[in-house]
């Protein structure tokens, strides 16, 4: 079953605006710093708040429904694992930066399968909390994300710190995991591209079963681009199933003994998979590894904020060939193995036509700023759809969006100063900081009051 997005728009009001901008003029003083503390020009943004990007976790919420319908706890874990992987698929080729949420900003979304509420619960550090639930209350999905962005000279690294939790009331089961890191390469020169990498462990706190996944780095010859592999283990850490796929396309599962037989029959190919390349350096390379001759040329280099490459003329004039990062790596289809007796847990939905003209949005993302008939009467006044800077960017008014973005940031700073003068504290309206009963760690948990829609006039942040 595909995601629930029928009846919603498949394009934005106007195509995105392409404009050459001197990226280095903004980033040259940011090497090694956290970018959330840096004011970025609006031309780097996509017309969504980070709260809305977080809501894109829910594009494949039907996987949670399918999981709750399974009587076998192993099968339930398989579908939860598919859901955890699916949450990352919309990131591919999304090179625009979402707007930083304002303190107290919210975003809600109601669909056939679920409803979700998000709130910006902290500004320093920036923390976004969310709570989603099934219409029949058979599952809940909640967590908080504290994204850290750092610029390393040739790449930007995004660390989505925070734990997310799924709970199945029918089975009294809770699962938790943290998302892997993301890296955008070729920030200064060459074609922009991104990858997800790291380890993800999805734990069933009731049974002790878990999925251990490795999101591979592309490597020097790109053979591991997008690849995922790992195992589903029991509480004794015995391997039960082999999991494999690509976070951009699919996730499959096969019994571990079948995978072992496949390995024996294809020992030569499997050995090449394991040993056939020298691993590339980590995208976290220190800026000290950036060649000095590259840095000397960067001030004059113009790079498009959204186009995936610089013009050839700029490259020829500014950088010699050995200084360029190169093209976007291509995934080697020969490594998209299909082991006999595998079954597919998740496959990605196709993106809408001409999505490259609309920030590479998925169909689900295209609909997030829609205000349907009747919604205006019940929508919380702090909802991201009402942000004037996002609305203007979506309409193609770059200058207007920049003006509004500056105004909102200044308004937020003024509100903070007034609270300090009055020695008052700000508290989130819809979340509270308390112990997560499953992870035994403090987290932002929903207080259950949002959908009563008891708003107050003081909710004026725009």
Q: In this predicted model, what pLDDT tens digit does every residue of 260-283 receive, in sequence order? A: 999 888 876 656 655 554 444 444
Q: Which residue has the higher pLDDT, 68 or 373?
A: 68
**Mean pLDDT of the 221-234 span:** 90
Inside any domain, residue 233: no
Inside any domain, residue 310: no
Inside any domain, residue 184: yes
Q: Tell me the pairing of strands 20-21 and 45-49.
A: unpaired
Inside any domain, residue 362: yes
Residue 27 has what pLDDT? Answer: 62
**Domain total in the chain:** 1
Residue 286 has what pLDDT? Answer: 40
Residue 332 has what pLDDT? Answer: 56
Alpha-carbon distance of 132 to 122, in angstroms, equals: 19
In angstroms and rounded to an integer, the radius of gyration of the C-alpha atoms of the chain is: 23
Burial 346-365 (b: 16+ CB within 10 A, else e): bbbbebbeebeebbbbbbbb
Residue 79 has what pLDDT? Answer: 98
Residue 404 has what pLDDT? Answer: 97
Q: Is the pLDDT of residue 184 over 50?
A: yes
Question: Which CA distances in Å does 199 have to 228, 361, 393?
Answer: 10, 26, 36
Instruction: Give the length of the chain.
Output: 462
Per-residue confidence band for 128, with pLDDT thresholds at 50, 70 and 90: very high
Of the candidate ranges 16-30, 75-89, 226-240, the one whose mean pLDDT is the lowest: 16-30
Q: What are 288's two structure tokens?
A: 């000290």
What would the pLDDT profile of 133-176 be if each residue is shown by its tens digit? 999 999 999 999 998 888 777 888 888 889 999 999 999 999 99
Q: Tell me the pairing of strands 106-110 and 97-99.
A: unpaired
Sign of CA dihedral 62, 65, 66, 67: positive
- Domain span including residue 145: 23-190+348-449
- Kindly tell me the number of DSSP H helices and DSSP E strands found in the chain: 12, 20
Per-residue confidence band for 5, with pLDDT thresholds at 50, 70 and 90: low
Question: Which CA distances in Å does 307 have to 88, 352, 445?
Answer: 22, 19, 39
Q: Is the pLDDT of residue 377 over 80?
A: yes
**pTM confidence score:** 0.85
Q: Is the pLDDT of residue 323 over 50?
A: no
Of the candidate ranges 153-157, 169-173, 247-251, 339-343, the one whose mean pLDDT is the lowest: 153-157
Residue 183 contacts by C-beta under 8 Å, 6 or more apart in sequence? 155, 156, 157, 158, 194, 195, 197, 283, 284
CB atoms < 10 A from the CB of 275, how many?
Answer: 8
83 and 63 Cβ atoms separated by less than 8 Å: yes
Looking at every residue in the chain, the average pLDDT score rounds to: 84
In the chain, % of residues over pLDDT 90? 61
Inside any domain, residue 289: no
Residue 322 has what pLDDT? Answer: 35
Identify the CA nearest to 242 among candidates 258, 256, 260, 252: 256
Inside any domain, residue 431: yes
Helix axes 256-265, 267-275, angle to 10 degrees: 100
Of the candidate ranges 88-97, 305-314, 365-374, the one whose mean pLDDT is the lowest: 305-314
Per-residue confidence band for 38, with pLDDT thresholds at 50, 70 and 90: low
Compute the C-alpha angle 156/161/165, nearest 5°: 140
Backbone angles phi, psi at 77, to 5 degrees: -65, -35
Residue 24 has what pLDDT? Answer: 57
Inside any domain, residue 434: yes
Inside any domain, residue 126: yes
């Amino acid at each position: 079953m595909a995601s629930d997005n029928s009846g919603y728009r498949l394009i934005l009001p106007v195509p995105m605006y392409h404009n050459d901008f001197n990226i280095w003029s903004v980033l040259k003083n940011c090497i090694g710093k956290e970018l959330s503390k840096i004011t970025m020009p609006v031309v780097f943004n996509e017309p969504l708040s980070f709260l809305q990007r977080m809501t894109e976790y829910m594009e494949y919420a039907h996987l949670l429904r399918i999981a709750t319908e399974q009587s076998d706890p192993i099968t339930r874990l398989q579908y939860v694992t598919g859901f955890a992987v699916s949450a990352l698929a919309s990131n591919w080729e999304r090179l625009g930066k979402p707007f930083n949420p304002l303190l107290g900003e919210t975003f809600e979304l109601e669909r056939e399968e679920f409803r979700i509420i998000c709130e910006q619960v902290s500004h320093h550090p920036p923390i976004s909390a969310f709570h989603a639930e099934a219409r029949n209350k058979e599952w809940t999905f909640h967590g908080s994300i504290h994204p850290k962005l750092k610029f390393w000279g040739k790449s930007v690294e995004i660390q989505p710190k925070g734990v997310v939790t799924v709970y199945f009331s029918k089975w009294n089961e809770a699962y938790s995991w943290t998302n892997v890191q993301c890296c955008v390469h070729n920030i200064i020169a060459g074609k922009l591209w991104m990858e997800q990498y790291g380890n993800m462990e999805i734990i069933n706190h009731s049974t002790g079963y878990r999925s251990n996944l490795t999101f591979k780095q592309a490597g020097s010859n790109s053979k591991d681009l997008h690849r995922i592999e790992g195992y589903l283990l029991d509480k004794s850490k015995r391997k039960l199933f082999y999991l494999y796929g690509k976070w951009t396309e699919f996730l499959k599962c096969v019994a571990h003994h079948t995978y072992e037989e496949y390995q024996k029959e294809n020992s030569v190919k499997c050995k090449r998979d394991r040993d056939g390349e020298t691993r590339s350096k980590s995208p976290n390379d220190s800026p000290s590894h950036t060649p000095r001759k590259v840095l000397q040329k960067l001030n004059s280099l113009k790079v498009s904020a959204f186009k995936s490459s610089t013009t050839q003329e700029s490259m020829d004039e500014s950088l010699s060939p050995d200084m360029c990062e190169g093209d976007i790596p291509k995934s080697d289809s020969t490594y998209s193995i299909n082991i006999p007796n595998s079954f597919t847990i998740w496959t990605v939905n196709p993106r809408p036509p001409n999505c490259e003209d609309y920030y590479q949005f998925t169909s689900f993302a295209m609909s997030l700023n829609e205000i349907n008939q009747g919604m205006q009467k019940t929508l919380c006044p702090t909802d991201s759809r009402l942000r004037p800077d996002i609305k203007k960017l979506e309409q193609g008014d770059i200058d207007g969006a920049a003006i509004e973005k500056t105004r909102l940031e200044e308004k937020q700073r003024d509100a903070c100063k007034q609270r300090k003068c009055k020695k008052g504290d700000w508290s989130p309206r819809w979340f509270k900081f308390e112990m997560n009963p499953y992870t035994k760690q403090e987290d932002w948990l929903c207080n259950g009051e949002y959908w009563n829609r008891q708003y107050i006039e003081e909710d004026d942040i725009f």
